[in-house]
Structure 1
Amino acid sequence: MGRSDLSDAEWERLRPFLPVSNRHCGRWRDHQQVIDGILHRVRTGVQWRDLPERSGPCKTVYERHRLWSADGTWERLLQQVQAAADAAGEIDWDISVDSTIVRAHQHPAGARTDPPPAPGSKGGPKGRTPGRDTLAEPARPPGGGGAGGEGLGRSRGGFTSKLHLSADGRCRPLSLVVTPGQRADCTQFKPVLEKIRVPRPGLGRPRKKPDSLAADRAYSNDPVREYLRRRGIRHTIPEKSDSQAARLRKGSRGGRPPGFAEDRYKKRNTVERAINRLKQFRAVATRYDKRGYVFLGTAIAAALAIWLRT
């Protein structure tokens, strides 16, 4: 058993939610073997062809990861594990929101822009050698793109992506969004919150609304505060110094200062610790995936491992 492999208890928590049929290419190869191979790559950041023999064919492992990243299976698995934790009362719904820069390796550069082949066809465009980088690409799910659709851009760190996330009070990621590295945090605040979706057992709508929210000054603007007020979410976001000065200059016309709970804000470190947990996985700390939706799937697979092991 490798260091990344799921234990028997972790596997039993995940097994009921795995897809039972494969409409793309017949029978699935053993899920446990393939998932252990994916988690080994997510933890170590090795190339797919360098996976240990116990993981099975590297192309099978890569294809499973790519397919599950494209059709939302990783995200559904994460939501189901979160739902089981919520039903047991193990989620602290005082959440925090933040982002982190991920330096991109040179391998993600130059993603192909060819359109996917027609339904039912096999292989990639003519004139290209079939391989792991010339496979037909499914439709990209929301949250895995950005400028150019691949979530890659230029920032002070160079060629980077940015991972936006929300985390519960126990330092576990609730939702994730990938954008280019230069994208401002506040522009992704609403998409991050909209992706929080924890199903409830039996009938009923999934839970989307936290008890409270904390964020830093990067999210301190009128649209963010108005969105939170409209949804009735209690929040603690410090006011920017220039906004405070402008409000004071207006006198009584500037309105009251936004509420700020210092004790609640001190607990915002939970999202920082969640980021630290995610970046223990080397394929998340450095981006090796060419496609934006595949990198998002890598980050979600790491988050799923965190939920299973805490």
Structure 2
Amino acid sequence: MGRGDLSDDEWARLEPHLPKNLGRGGRWQCHRRVINGILFRQRTGLPWRDLPTRFGKWKTVYDRHRRWSADGTWESSLLRTVQADADVEGRIDWSVVSVDSTVCRAHQHAAGAHHRLPRVLGRWRRPAEHRPDEALGRSRGGLTTKIHLASDGSCRPLAVLITPGQWGDAPQLIKVLDRVRVRRPTGGHPRTRPDRVCGDKAYSSRRNRRYLRRRQIKHTFPEPKNQKVNRQRRGSHGGRPTGFDSTTYKRRNEVERCFNAFKGSRAVVTRYDKRAYVFHGTVTLAAIRLWLRY
């Protein structure tokens, strides 16, 4: 086993949930060797064509990652499974879920994707994360992509969303929280509601607070000065002052520490993938690895 490869324990937890056959009588190449190749590329950030030969053909490794990113295998099957196992063992801290975002520089090779749908299993299908803008934004520093993250109290990712780098944080809060879905192995609806949501002042908006109150979720967002002034200027029509718990707000560092663990993968801290759904698969695989390790 090479450095960074799946351990025997990690492989035993993933193997039962991997696709069993390729379709039309075909057989998959060894899943464990291919996943180790994907992890190697994710950790080092090298081009697919430069993968060591011990992982097999680079084209096989790339196609497996692209296909599982398109059909949702990484997120719907594997990530949800490891999260459900952790919830059964009581390793998910639902008391405070922190949200934040980080900007990743996009390599020049990440631009220029054709505006067409990818080919999955011989047919043209719309993948779960296909975006017409390919989640690429342009700023002073060049092309960027933003990763929005919801982290539990143990600094592990519950939900991931990618957008162009110049998009704001507040409009994405509801979309990120809607992605929190931890299955219950005993049956029933998955758990989607934390006890409290914590974020910085970028997430403070009347729309977000109204959404969280409707779902009966407590929240801790500092109120920006301009919002406070506008509320006071409107008098009784401005509503009541927002509550703020400074002690709970100190736990916002948990999502920052989760991002720090994410950025140990060079293919995450710098985006090399042209397609948004492929990069989303790369980020999701990094989240799976964090759940397997801790």
Pair in the same fold by TM > 0.5: yes
- TM-superposed deviation, 1:117: 6.8
Change in CA separation of 1:83 and 1:74 when aligned onto 2, cut-off 3 Å = same
- Return the match for 2:162 from 173, 178, 189: 178
Q: TM-score, normalised by structure 2?
A: 0.95
Residue aligning to 2:245: 261
CA distance in 2, matches of 1:25, 1:221: 53
- TM-superposed deviation, 1:11: 1.1
- TM-superposed deviation, 1:191: 1.1
Change in CA separation of 1:219 and 1:194 when aligned onto 2, cut-off 3 Å = same
Residue aligning to 2:261: 277
1:118-142 deviation line (CA, Å, top 9, x unaligned): 9857xxxxxxxxxxxxxxx642314
Within 5 Å, which residues of 2 pair with 1:59-98? 59-75=59-75, 76-93=77-94, 94-98=96-100
- TM-superposed deviation, 1:23: 2.2
SS of residue in 1 equivalent to 2:161 = strand
SS of residue in 2 equivalent to 1:171 = coil
Residue aligning to 1:245: 229
CA distance in 2, matches of 1:114, 1:7: 38
CA distance in 2, matches of 1:118, 1:39: 22
- TM-superposed deviation, 1:26: 1.2
Matched, 1:18 2:5: no
Residue aligning to 1:217: 201
Within 5 Å, which residues of 2 pair with 1:144-159? 145=131, 148-159=132-143
CA distance in 2, matches of 1:267, 1:19: 38
- Return the match for 1:139 from 109, 126, 131: 126
SS of residue in 2 equivalent to 1:149 = coil
Larger mean Cα displacement after TM superposition, 21-30 or 260-269:
21-30
CA distance in 1, matches of 2:31, 2:120: 28
- Return the match for 2:144 from 131, 142, 160: 160
Aligned residues: 292
CA distance in 2, matches of 1:117, 1:66: 10
CA distance in 2, matches of 1:116, 1:39: 22
Contact 2:198–2:221 under 8 Å retained in 1: yes
CA distance in 2, matches of 1:150, 1:222: 29
SS of residue in 2 equivalent to 1:177 = strand
SS of residue in 1 equivalent to 2:90 = coil
SS of residue in 1 equivalent to 2:101 = strand
Gaps of 5+ in 2: none
- TM-superposed deviation, 1:52: 1.3
Give the aligned CA root-mean-square deviation in angstroms.
Answer: 1.7
Read off the aligned partner of 1:106 and give its amino acid letter.
Q
Residue aligning to 2:56: 56
Matched, 1:33 2:33: yes
- TM-superposed deviation, 1:267: 0.1
Larger mean Cα displacement after TM superposition, 183-192 or 78-87:
183-192
Read off the aligned partner of 2:102 and give its amino acid letter.
T
CA distance in 2, matches of 1:108, 1:36: 23
- Return the match for 2:114 from 104, 109, 112: 112
CA distance in 2, matches of 1:288, 1:59: 16
Change in CA separation of 1:120 and 1:284 when aligned onto 2, cut-off 3 Å = closer
1:188-247 deviation line (CA, Å, top 9, x unaligned): 111111111111012111111111110111110111111101111111011110011112
CA distance in 1, matches of 2:55, 2:142: 34
Residue aligning to 1:299: 283
Read off the aligned partner of 1:262 and give its amino acid letter.
S
1:84-138 deviation line (CA, Å, top 9, x unaligned): 00001000012100110010000011101245679857xxxxxxxxxxxxxxx64
